[in-house]
Structure 1
Amino acid sequence: MSAPDSSRGLASGRLGVWAIVFFVMSAAAPLTVVASGAPLTVMLAGVGGPGAMLAAGVVLMVFAVGFTAMTRYVRDAGAFYAYTTEGLGAPVGSGAASLTTFGYTALLLGFYGFVAFFAQVTADGLFGLDLPWAVWGLLIAAFVGFLGYRQVDMGAKVLMVLLTAEVVLLLALSLAVLVQGGPEPLSLAPLSPSNWLTAEGAGGLFVLGFGAYIGFEGTAIYAEEARDPERTVPRATYIAIGFLGAFYAFTFYCFIAAFGVEGVIAAATPEGFADLPFVWADTYLGTSAVKVLQVLIVTSFVACLIAFHNACSRYLFSLGRSGLLPAGLGRSHPKHRSPYVGSLALSAVSVAALLLTAVAGWDPYLDLGLKSYGTGVVAIVAAQALCALAVLAFFLRDRRGHSPLRVVVAPVLAVAGLGAGLFLILTNFTVVTGYTGFVNGLLMVLPAIAFVLGVVWYVARPPTPEAVEEETPAA
Structure 2
Amino acid sequence: MSRNVAATDTAPARRLGVPAITLMIIAASAPLTVVAGGATTAFSVTGSLAVPIGYIVLAIALGIFAVGYAAMSRHITNAGAFYAYAAQGLGRPVGVGVSLVALIAYNCMQIGIYGMLGFQVSDFVSSMFGVTIPWWLVVIVCIGIVGWMGVNRIDLSAKVLGVLVALEFLVVIVFDVAAFANPTESFTAQPISPTEIFTPAIGAVLAFGVAAFMGFEQAAIYGEEAKDPKRTVTRATFTAVGIIGVFYALSSWALSLAIGTEKITSAGISPEEAGPPLFFNFAATHLGVIVVDIMSVLFITSVFAAVVSFHNAVARYVFSLGREQLLPRGLARVSRSGAPWAGSVAQTVLALVVVVLFAIGGIGSELGPLYPVITLFTWLTNTGAMGLVLLMAVIALSVIGYFRGNPNDAGPWTTLVSPIIAFLFLATVYVLIVANFNVLMGQAETNALTFVLPLLVVVPGIIGIGWGIALKSSRPEVYENIGRGAPDPLPDAEVLDAQP
- TM-score by length of structure 1 reads 0.94
- Which residue pairs with 2:192 in the alignment? 191
Corresponding residue for 2:490?
none
> 1:454 and 2:464 equivalent?
yes
| Aligned residue in 2 for 1:161 | 163
Superposed, 1:21-420 pairs within 5 Å as 21-43=22-44, 44-178=46-180, 180-195=181-196, 197-266=197-266, 269-271=269-271, 272-274=273-275, 275-333=277-335, 335-361=336-362, 363-420=371-428
Cα offset, 1:112, TM superposition:
1.0
Residue pair 1:20, 1:236 contacting (<8 A) in 2 also: yes
Which residue among 413, 421, 436 is the counterpart of 2:429?
421
- Mapped contact 2:92–2:479 kept (Cα < 8 A): no
Distance 1:472 1:11 in 2: 15
The AA in structure 2 aligned to 1:372 is L
SS in 2 for 1:305: helix
| Alpha-carbon offset, residue 267 of structure 1 | 8.4
1:273 is paired with a residue whose SS is coil
Cα-to-partner distance string for 1:164-221 (whole Å, 9 max, x where unaligned): 111110011001222x3313332121022443x3334322211121111001000000
Q: Cα offset for 1:352? A: 0.9
Task: Give 3-state SS (helix, strand or coil) of 2:198's partner.
Answer: coil
Cα distance change, pair 216–268 in 1 and its aligned pair in 2 (3 A): farther
Structure 2 portions without partners, runs of 5+: 364-370, 488-500
What is the CA–CA distance in structure 1 between the aligned matches of 2:296 and 2:318, rounded to whole Å? 34
> Aligned residue for 1:445?
455
Supply the distance in 1 between the matched residues of 2:268 and 2:165 (Cα, whole angstroms): 27
Q: Specify the code of the residue in structure 1 equivalent to 2:485.
A: E
CA contact (8 A) 1:45 1:200 kept: no
**2:144 and 2:244 mapped to 1: Cα distance?**
29
2:449 alignment partner AA: V
Per the TM alignment, residue 30 of structure 1 is displaced from its structure 2 partner at its CA by 1.2
TM-score, with length taken from structure 2: 0.90
What's the CA shift string for 1:390-448, capped at 9, x where partnerless? Answer: 01111133431011112211111111111111111111112321232211111111111
The residue type equivalent to 2:360 in the other structure is: V
Write the deviation string for residues 310-358 of structure 1: whole angstroms up to 9, x where unpaired.
001100100011111110111212x121111110011001111111111
Whether the 8 Å CA contact 2:207–2:436 is kept in 1: the answer is: yes
* Amino acid across the alignment from 2:81: A
Aligned to 2:485: 471
- The alpha carbon displacement at 1:464 in A equals 5.3
Distance 2:248 2:428 in 1: 21
Q: 2: distance between equivalents of 1:416 and 1:400?
A: 24
One of 430, 442, 446 as aligned partner of 1:434: 442
The DSSP-based 3-state class of the residue aligned with 2:187 is: coil
The structural deviation recorded for 1:260 is: 2.9
Task: Please report how far the alpha carbon of residue 268 of structure 1 lies from its aligned counterpart in structure 2 after TM superposition.
Answer: 6.3
**Could you list the per-position Cα deviations for residues 91-127 of structure 1 after superposition, in whole angstroms to 9, with x for gaps in the alignment?**
0000011111110011111011111111111111123
Aligned residue pairs, count: 467
Q: Decide whether the 8 Å contact of 1:78 with 1:314 is kept in 2.
A: yes
Q: Identify the range of structure 1 (119-128 vs 248-257) with the bigger mean alpha-carbon deviation.
A: 119-128
Say if 2:168 and 2:298, in contact at 8 Å, map to a contact too: yes
Q: Secondary structure at the match of 1:212?
A: helix
Aligned partners of 1:206 and 1:421 also within 8 Å: yes
Task: Identify unmatched segments of 5+ residues in structure 1.
Answer: none
Q: Is the 8 A contact 2:468 2:479 kept in 1?
A: no
**TM superposition outliers: structure 1 runs of 4+ over 4 Å:** 466-470
3-state SS of 1:297 partner: helix
Indicate how the Cα distance of structure 1 residues 15 and 268 shifts in structure 2: closer, same or farther if over 3 A, else same. farther
The letter for the 2-side match of 1:456 is G
Taking only the aligned residue pairs, the percentage that are identical comes to: 34
CA RMSD of aligned residues (A): 1.8
Residues 258 and 467 of structure 1: is their aligned pair in 2 closer, same or farther, counting only changes over 3 Å? same
CA-to-aligned-CA distance 1:231-287 (integer Å, 9 cap, x gap): 111100000000000000000000111133234335862533222011121122111
The letter of the residue matching 1:471 is G
In the alignment, the residues of structure 2 paired with residue 472 and residue 83 of structure 1 have an alpha-carbon distance, to the nearest angstrom, of 15
Larger deviation, residues 3-12 vs 72-81: 3-12
Between 1:147-156 and 1:432-441, the stretch displaced more is: 432-441
Distance 2:195 2:47 in 1: 11
Deviation at 1:131, TM superposition (A): 1.3
User: Structure 1, residues 342-389: CA drift from partner, whole Å, max 9, x if none?
Assistant: 100110011111111112226321221111111111111100110111
